[in-house]
Every structure is written in C-alpha cells, then in structure tokens.
Structure 1
Amino acid sequence: MSLTGEVVVVTGAGGFLGKRLVRLLLEEEKTAEIRLLDLRVQPQLVESLEDCRGDTELSVCEGDIRDAEFLRRSCRGASIVFHIAAIIDVKDAVEYSEIHGVNVKGTQLLLEACVQENVASFVYTSSIEVMGPNPRGEPIVDGTEDMAYESALKFAYSKTKMEGERRTLQAHGEVLQNGGRLATCALRPMYIYGEGCRFLLGHMADAIRNKDVLYRMSRPEARVNPVYVGNVASGHLQAGRALKDPQKRSAAGGKFYFISDDTPHVSYSDFNHAVMSPLGFDIQRDLMFPLWVMYAVCFIMAALCAAVRPLVRVVPPLTGQLVTMLNTPFSFSYQRARRDLGYAPRYTWEEARRRTTGWLAAELPKEREKMRKK
C-alpha cells in the first residue's frame, strides 16, 4: 500500500534516523507533503534533500514536543505520524523530569494531537532497551515478540521509552474527531549504526587517544545484532504502509515489532572493530578490566555521585547497568515484522559495512585534527 498523496509528519526529522527516513520517503513515495518536526532543523538538511524532493512539499516545523498547540498545528491535515524524536541517554546524564517530559509527555501529547486532528496512523520508534537486559544479565538469543522476560529496567531512558511505547499501543483504536479510528504500532530496533552514528564517532575518538586501539568493553561471547540505519528506515516505511492497508492494519495495529537485519551477531566491541579495522584500527584482546572490577568501580562511583548530588550533579562515565548491557548476549529476530509488515532488510551486511566504514573514513581526519588541537 502506497503513501502517495499523503501528508506525513516525521518527528526528530533532523536526527540520525529521522533524516534517513525522510530521504527514503522522498525517494520511494509520492507524498503530497512531509513535515520535518524537530526542536531545530538545520537549513542544510532541506537543501540536501532537493535532489530527491520531486513534487513533494517539505515543511519545517520547529518547536518543543511538549507544546500541545504546536503539535496540533503540525498534525493538522496529516494522515500519518512517524514519531522518532526522543532523548537518548544510556548514562543517566539527563534529569529524569527532562527525559520523561520529552519521551513520555511528548508522546502522549502527540497522540492526543493525532486524535484531535484526525491523523489515522501513528508509528512509534521504540528501542531494544525496553527489553533490557535485566540487572541479572539474563541472555536472549534470537528472541521473539512472544517471549517473556523479566526486564526490571534501570535506565531512565529505557523506562521512559517503555512508557511511551505502552501509551502508543494503548491508543490503538481510539476514536478520532471525525469518527475514524487511530491505528498505532511500535518498532523496537536493535542498536542502530551507519552514517551519522554519534556512538561510533565516540568510539573512534577514544581509539585515536589510545594510539588507534579500540577499547574492549564487551566480552566476545556477549553477542548482539546491531541493525543498519537504512534498514530501520525501511522498517518504518513498511510499518506506515501496513497501517494504511486495511488487511495488514488489523494484524499490525496495537503491536510492537523487533527490527533487526543480517548484520553478524557479535559483541558491541567486536562490531566497532569490524567497521573500523579497514581504517587501521586494532582492538584490545581482553577486557580493559575483569568484569568484577568494572562492577566494583561502578558501585564506588555511583555511591560517590549520590553523596555529592545534594550539592552538584556528577555523572559517572560508566554504570553497572551499562556494563551489564555491554556484556549480555541479547539478540532478536525480525521474522514477525517480515510476516506482518512485509519488512525485509534492503541492505546486506557487506553494503552496510562498506557505507559505514566509508563515512568513518571521511570523518577520521577531522577527529585526528581535533585530537591534535587538544
């Protein structure tokens, strides 16, 4: 089912995934209008899309997702919302009120705007971190949407994304102002990599400081399945199409789906090496420190940060939950998304790696220059 002639809203349009989805929509769908909703949208983004814009109108909607009236204006006349905008924080560096305001309240206000403005479809970008791993580090290998797992989430990011997902799926079937019904679904991508991934840049910068040797923070056996950003964007497009299709809408509405691809199952550290080794980077053979030492240091840092918090907020560089996340086998299948949404990876691992490494190669001289100036 095509989105031809539709008015589409993409929140977080200026971000890593948002930009990729907007380009995909322009390349594959003859939409009437795409509204780029974000706190700030760089003029360069709109300029960069001119080569594939065609007859689609690109509208910039700058504002705070916690502003209900702004959201109503942005959704007026639209038929589908892709809600990607969120605060991503795996170190608990952001105050809880801030991350909750954006990831939960913002999602709720956007859902209400959809009901008030008769937006028929809503695709929510969730995260694999709503599953865990739990503090006990219990592994999952090729998990499915049906499996039970006691997550006991620790990160504020994980908790708020789960709450945003829950509210999204509960809103499925709500009656719109015009008498129609809202259809919703949520996508849970794995760790997303590709051109523009700030986490990869951070790991490369650390390796440059370490004489071009990547730090090993994950055991080799702690295998996960990262997913390429182009495939995640494709999953969103397929979800949008499915919610418009009357038959698929009934199957997919109110459900969540894991989005992965055929990237090899490796540890986070070994994945970093896989995309950076062609650039001359090596990787440490063993963990920087034994796991028990990492946990002990994290415990001490957390206690010290808690002690001084009444005076100043200090964010430790590493937490016990982050160590657990980096060292727990945690992988999931995309087969249900294939069945219900028609999703299939567009990019092979070889192509995704080539594109990612090529982007990192272009960024490498800039990172080295930054290091030189420090």
Structure 2
Amino acid sequence: MFLKGDVCVVTGACGFLGRRLIRLLLEEENLGEIRLVDKQIKLEDVQSFNDCRGDTRVQAYEGDIRDSAFLRRACRGASTVFHVAALIDVTGSVEFSELYGVNVKGTQLLMEVCIEENVPSLIYTSTIEVMGPNRGDPIHNGTEETVYECSLKSPYRRTKKEAEERTLQANGELLPDGTRLATCALRPMYIYGEGCRFLLGHMADGVRNKNVLHRMSSQEAKVNPVYVGNVAVAHLQAARCLKDPNKRDIIGGRFYFISDDTPPASYSDFNHVMMSPLGFHIKDKLPLPLGLLYVLCFLIEVTCTLLRPFIRLVPPLNRQLLTMLNTHFTFSYNRAQVDLGYVPRYTWQEARKGTVEWLAGKLPALREKLET
C-alpha cells in the first residue's frame, strides 16, 4: 500500500468522480485519514463510505474553495491533494466571473495553501476540452505530443486550461520544509458511468420524446468516452507515482490523457448504446444539415446578446457545443500506461453493464416524474 497512513484530501468529494475516487482510496489504501472537501456535504455523504472505510478516518470539510482559511484547515498535514472540484458548463449558463472564481482562482488558492502547508503532491483533474476541438479540425488517436492550437472561446475551456497551466507551472515550488511540490494533471475524455448526470439528462429527453433519443452529433464524429471507475484508477496511480522518488520527477509537471477501451462512437450514438437495452431508439439524422445548424445557433446567439441588457437567455445549443459534438476527437492512453502504470481496471463490458443497470434503476421514477 503506497499511501499507507497518509492523509489525503479530495475536493469535489460529493461529485460524480469524487465519490468514486474516495471509495477506491478507501478500498485499496490503508490511509490514516481522508478529507471530503465540498461546498455542501450531507451526513449521508460521509456515511455512504462506512462499508469500506476500515480504520481510515473520514472527515467532512464543508466550505468554499475560494476561502483560503478554509483550505488551510482542510489541507493541514495532508500528503496528497486530489483537486477534482470544478464548475462544469457547456451551454454558457454560468457567469464567467463565477467560472473563473472557482476554476482558476480556487485552484490558485489551493496551490498556494499546499505550498504553505508543506503538501508534497497535488493531482489536478483537467478535461479533454482544454485541447478543443476546432470546427473541421479532427484528431485521430492523439497523444500528449500532438500539436493543436485550440480556437474555442468557451469560458469553461478557458478556465480549465488556465487552471491546468497554473497547476503544472507550480511543479517544483519550494516548500517551507525544504522539499518541493510535485503536480500533474489528468485529462479524461467524456466520463460516463453510474451517477453521470449527462446520461440521465439525455435519458429524460428520450422519455419526453416517446423513447426516441435526439441526434445532435453525426455518426462520423467519434470520441472515446472513459468509464468513471477507470478515471479513479488513473488518479490513484498518479498519487502513487508522485510518492515514489523514482517516478516523481518523471511525471511532475506533466499532463496525461485518460481513456480506456470503450469503443469510439459519436456522443449521440454512445447515448444510444447505453440506452438501447432500455427500449430507446435514436433518430438516423441530425434535425437539420450541420451547416444550417451553425447558422441557426449563430442567429440565436446574436439574439441572446441583444436581449442581454433586459433578460438573460441561455440556449441549449451553441456553436461551440455543436463543434464539440460533431468533430472526431479521440486520444490514446499509452503515455499514462507507460509513465503512471495506468491500466483500465474495468472492461468495456463491465462498464456498460454497470451503467445500463444504473440507468434502468432510475428509469421508472423518471418516467413517473415526467409523465405526471
């Protein structure tokens, strides 16, 4: 057990990935203490880990990541911080100041606190969206060496990119005790699995549409989603490597793409793969030709901008989201395999089975809610 007796901090602990990572840490590492950091933590959130906590102390730290005094309390005496917390926004519904405050300023504060409190290791959960995509500019099986200049102006992408850059630049910072901070960033593909709110939202849309899923991405625009359990494994492997003196300098200051063996598919077709066992179908074609959809999105965006002084409207689809949904964008996890020793623990069959069963369990209540 590489992290035996350590104190680990997980920000965004009550989120989709945070919960899965905490459970993995408790099951695989005999930690001294694990600290759940989130803006709101219920008693049942802590109690949900009772079956796997063993002798590890599980502590809840409820507060704002933009509060440095709160972060100092949460990080004092810690050996590893997993920074999973972030505001995710693909439609532009969150004000930029809020996104920047949480995703960038919160990350910067956390790093400063890690330095002040002699925390030696920080792992940052980034996203594939820091790479792009650009319209009409696909990537097939990209790697960490792939040169790609992203032109996307998405506020979410910008804030995650800046936060990642600041995290990696902090690698090697001198700590008060004479040691140095080591950081790395993981860039997962689209994460799916039990608890994925995006899959649940698409299923709700399908129920409203009489069990027919909307198609918003062409079949040719393939991506390679990654199962949440495998993303958690990658985080654990990164923590183990940062603690290993022989590997710490190799991965410190670097980013890694995290995918697995989930078959590449477009976002829409992937939703159908997950929901077809539950009786859902999918439309064969986009609702309009792609070029016309871009024009329509542009007109809607202009209208929303003109109305902004009077009312704030957020369309469910914009040109940047349409680009993401309709650009082939796949990446290899080979570098993570070589440097981190990352190997997907869950097969595609296991990941799909678990996800479908979770969706099936949610479907009856969802139908009842939407049909009443």
Q: TM-score, normalised by structure 1?
A: 0.99
Distance 2:200 2:270 in 1: 13
1:106 is matched with which residue? 106
Residue 44 of structure 2: aligned partner: 44
Deviation at 1:153, TM superposition (A): 2.5
Alignment-derived partner of residue 237 in structure 1: 236
Q: Flag structure 2 segments of 5+ consecutive residues without an equivalent.
A: none
Aligned amino acid, residue 118 of structure 2: N
What residue is the counterpart of 2:122 in the other structure? 122
Q: Counterparts of 1:1-374 in structure 2 under 5 Å?
A: 2-134=2-134, 136-373=135-372
Q: Distance in 2 between matches of 1:234 and 1:268?
A: 23
Between the aligned partners of 1:285 and 1:152, the Cα distance in structure 2 is: 30
Task: Verify the 8 A CA contact 1:231 1:261 in the aligned structure 2.
Answer: yes
Match of 1:50, SS?
coil
Quick check: 2:152–2:320 contact (8 Å CA) kept in 1? no
1:48 CA displacement: 1.3
Distance across 2 between alignment mates of 1:240 and 1:313 = 42
* Runs of 4+ with deviation above 6 angstroms: none
Deviations 1:173-195 (A, max 9, x none): 00011111000000000000000
Contact in 2 for aligned 1:6/1:78 (Cα 8 Å) = yes
Offset from partner CA, 1:198-224 (integer Å, 9 cap, x none): 000110000111110111111101010
CA contact (8 A) 2:188 2:231 kept: yes
Aligned residues: 372
Most deviating of 286-295 and 154-163: 286-295
Partner Cα separation in structure 2 for residue 236 and residue 219 of structure 1: 32
1:41 CA displacement: 1.3
* CA shift for structure 1 position 31: 0.4
Distance (whole Å) between structure 1 residues aligned to residue 368 and residue 132 of structure 2: 37
CA shift at 1:59, angstroms? 0.4
Gaps of 5+ in 1: none
SS at match of 2:321: helix
SS in 2 for 1:196: coil
Instruction: Check whether the contact 1:96–1:156 (CA below 8 A) recurs between aligned residues.
Output: yes
C-alpha distance in 2, partners of 1:34/1:156? 32
Give the Cα–Cα distance (whole angstroms) in 2 for the partners of residues 280 and 316 of structure 1: 29
Distance of 1:39 and 1:137 partners within structure 2: 39
Contact 1:137 1:325 in 2 (8 A): no
Paired amino acid for 1:242:
C
Aligned-partner residue type, residue 274 of structure 1: V
2:115/2:175 contact within 8 Å kept: yes
**1:9-46: per-residue Cα shift (whole Å, max 9, x none)?**
00000000000000000000000000000001122121
**Paired residue type of 2:21:** L
- Find the aligned partners of 1:182 and 1:115 in 2 and give their Cα distance: 7
Question: Does structure 1 retain, via aligned residues, the 8 Å contact 2:132–2:152?
Answer: yes
Distance 2:73 2:93 in 1: 32
Give the Cα separation in 1 of the matches to 2:280 and 2:152: 34
SS across alignment from 1:46: helix
Give, as a single letter, the amino acid of the residue that structure 2 aligns with 1:88.
I
CA distance in 2 between partners of 1:314 and 1:280 (Å) = 34
Q: CA RMSD in A?
A: 0.7
**Rounded Cα–Cα distance in structure 1 between residues aligned with 2:169 and 2:345:** 31
1:267 maps to amino acid: S
Query: What is the aligned-residue identity percentage?
Result: 65
Q: Are the equivalent residues in 2 in contact too, given 1:130–1:153 (CA < 8 A)?
A: no
| Alpha-carbon separation, structure 2, partners of 1:189 and 1:167 | 18
Q: Name the aligned partner's letter for residue 110 of structure 1.
A: L
User: Take 2:33 and 2:235, find their aligned partners in 1: how far apart are those partners?
Assistant: 17
Tell me the amino acid that sits aligned with residue 260 of structure 1.
S
Q: Distance in 1 between matches of 2:152 and 2:292?
A: 23
Q: Check whether the contact 2:27–2:52 (CA below 8 A) recurs between aligned residues.
A: yes
The farther-off stretch of 183-192 and 364-373 is 364-373
Q: Kindly state the Cα deviation for residue 336 of structure 1 after the two structures are TM-superposed.
A: 0.2
CA offsets per residue over residues 146-182 of structure 1, 9 Å max, x none? Answer: 0100102321110000000000000000001111100
